[in-house]
Amino acid sequence: MLLAAGCGGGGSEESATTTATETSSSGRPALDPSKTYTVTLKTNKGTFAFDLDVKHSPNTTASFVALVEKGFFDGLTFHRIVPGFVIQGGDPNGNGTGGPGYTTVDTPPSDAKYTKGVVAMAKTAAQAPGTAGSQFFVVTGADAGLPPDYALLGKVSSGMDVVDKIGKLGDPTTQQPTTRVVIEKATVSES
């Protein structure tokens, strides 16, 4: 179910790729790169927020906002917690195999770094670099040491203490949470 690279799913996520215009037809046009979009995740362990990286990931961020606006993430869990590495959520199946039924692609820059507080999209090893569905991860270690294969979603802008707290609630051997961590409500704001 989990890949050695550390941030993939089980591969059952649909492989159709959407473009910005298709994202628009699904209810959300491309985001304005001159604005700041912040996603806030209220969990049963506290609230944290991250600013979206519209510049590097226009398709991914537009899709993520559309999912937030539809309530897709509400009630989902952080199904994978690896202390000192990442917390991962956004899977409707709760086991690393699910997604929204489509993918987007935003190839990350070759110098992308997955350092503490970076939020990126999980993918399977078989998927092209920058492929994204709904599963995302937040880096909790100083540097996850991952190659630039994961679409950049954003960076934690508030509540890193909450992310750190959640990051300690996993078994390093099984990568499973030791307690249930639920996204009670996801919202997005723009400024």
Q: DSSP letters along 44-105, please?
A: BTEEEEEEE-TTT-HHHHHHHHHHHHTTTTTT-BEEEEETTTEEEE--TTSSS---SS-BEE
Host domain of residue 105: 20-27+37-190
3-state secondary structure of 40: strand
| 79 lies in some domain | yes
Burial class of residue 186 (count of CB atoms within 10 Å of its CB; 0-12, 13-18, 19+): buried
Beta bridge partners of 156: 50
Domain count, the chain: 1
| 93 lies in some domain | yes
Contacts of 173 (CB under 8 A, 6+ apart): none
Length of the chain: 191
| 32 lies in some domain | no
| 1 lies in some domain | no
Question: pLDDT tens, position by position, for the chain (191 residues)?
Answer: 233 334 444 443 333 433 333 333 344 578 999 999 999 999 999 999 999 999 999 999 999 999 999 999 999 999 999 999 999 999 999 999 999 999 999 999 999 999 999 999 999 999 999 999 999 999 999 999 999 999 999 999 999 999 999 999 999 999 999 999 999 999 999 99
| 132 lies in some domain | yes
Can you give the pTM of this predicted structure?
Answer: 0.87
Residue 68 belongs to domain with CATH number: 2.40.100.10
| 141 lies in some domain | yes
